[in-house]
Amino acid sequence: QSALTQPPSASGAPGQSVTISCTGTSSDVGAYNYVSWFQHHPGKAPKLMIYEVTKRPSGVPDRFSGSKSGNTASLTVSGLQAEDEADYYCSSYAGNKVLFGGGTKLTVL
């Protein structure tokens, strides 16, 4: 199975909102409510930001939110801050596999 599809880049000014999409198929994103989003700063371990489509782990600011419609999931970052600049990856359960998106580089202008 191919990776999930994400835009390679996204950007926004401090305080603005940005949404990153993650498109899969009816066999992965569309089939299960097991979409996760990870924030990854180069040289550090990835950090779980959203799981089960909409849930936030303890300690993740409520500026981060997730949603899903059909085969496409989305991550919205509201009130952008400089420290939000990072690579963001989605993942989806796909039965006997896990798929990752290609990643989106978020730039805070």
Partner 1 sequence: EVQLVESGGGLVQPGGSLRLSCTASGFTFSNHWMHWVRQVPGKGLEWVSRIIPDGSGTSYADSVKGRFTISRDNAKNTLYLQMNSLRDEDTAVYYCARDEVYGSGSCGLWGQGTLVTVSS
Largest CA distance in the chain: 40
Member of 65, 84, 89, 108 binding partner 1 (CB under 8 A): 89
**Between 71 and 92, whose beta carbon lies closer to partner 1?**
92
**Between 32 and 63, whose beta carbon lies closer to partner 1?**
32
For residues 57 and 93, give the distance between their C-alpha atoms in angstroms, rounded to a whole number: 18
Question: To the nearest whole angstrom, how small is the minimum distance from the Cβ of residue 87 to partner 1?
Answer: 8
Burial of 66 (0-12, 13-18, 19+ CB in 10 A): buried
Question: To the nearest whole angstrom, how small is the minimum distance from the Cβ of residue 28 to partner 1?
Answer: 10
